[in-house]
Structure 1
């Protein structure tokens, strides 16, 4: 199981206020599983809702929140590209510091880790493309590799982690 670090205080805010969730009853735990506290249940539901909004929440995606800021992603059917997008979608949520997942090896050189880049203040997709892909004009390849999380190539922010496509 690999672990990726993210900037905990950067990213999309999806958790909202705990008080807003108090009116909602927590769902019953699955058979054989220990019950989660209401706050953990609320946060996992918010993460799943974000994945649904990005059309990344397939039936076999399972999220486990540990320690309040570490998410374990499990999916038997996701290909490597989809799993990398799941890692980024969850990791780029404000309040998430680490994401754990097993990446499938199919189609990729064995043991080769994905290339992720954390955006620094003042960076653009063009500058990142020049650094990783050798040409600023290849910024669209990075943009496309991060869809649907990115909706505009000009809307990246410091602390955001991006997937760099392998050529």
Structure 2
């Protein structure tokens, strides 16, 4: 459990320009209620995105705080890889800067590391860095599916799960 940092400008675009979470909106009678409504909609959109990736957890809860650009994720995942995919899916959304991990795991295992992609990175180079062999790049790809559709489709600012080798 803890905080995972992400790059706010990178990631899936779940919010349109007019509905950016916690952005200045049409003035409402109660600005606090408007902010709470925007945060609720953003949390719901992130939860829907997580589920659309085929990821789920018992009692999955996703809340968004537009002021701090932080997503808090709660619930119980069946295993460590599922938990890590849920957290990375939540963080790799545009306008998310941090993910507060409040999840638990039914079958705990060693935690993975995280790698923020920079320009020039590819899965081969990342596998060499963490495992000493680029040939192990498929381990990273598999740990990041379904968010990654192709090993060649990573982008700067994206955060990847780097699982421990078994």
TM range (shorter): 0.7 to 0.9
1:12-62 deviation per Cα after TM superposition (whole angstroms, max 9, x unaligned): 111123459x9xxxxxxxxxxx99722112211211221121011445110
| TM-score of the superposed pair, with normalisation by structure 1 | 0.81
Match of 2:30 in 1: none
Rounded Cα–Cα distance in structure 2 between residues aligned with 1:36 and 1:57 = 27
Number of equivalenced pairs = 153
Superposition RMSD in Å = 2.5
Rounded Cα–Cα distance in structure 2 between residues aligned with 1:83 and 1:164 = 13
Preserved contact between residue 18 and residue 39 of structure 1 (Cα < 8 Å) = no
Match of 2:154 in 1: 156
Deviation at 1:96?
Answer: 0.2
| TM-score of the superposed pair, with normalisation by structure 2 | 0.81
Q: Which structure is higher in strand share? A: 2
1:55-88 deviation per Cα after TM superposition (whole angstroms, max 9, x unaligned): 1144511011124410110012442211111110
Question: Is 2:98 aligned against 1:98?
Answer: yes
SS at match of 1:127: helix
Map of 1:30-45 to 2, 5 A cutoff? 37-45=36-44
Which 5+ residue runs of structure 2 have no aligned equivalent?
26-32
Match of 2:109 in 1: 108
Match of 1:7 in 2: 7
Preserved contact between residue 79 and residue 106 of structure 2 (Cα < 8 Å) = no
SS at match of 1:83: helix
Worse-matched range after superposition: 55-64 or 97-106: 97-106
Rounded Cα–Cα distance in structure 1 between residues aligned with 2:43 and 2:91 = 13
Match of 2:70 in 1: 70
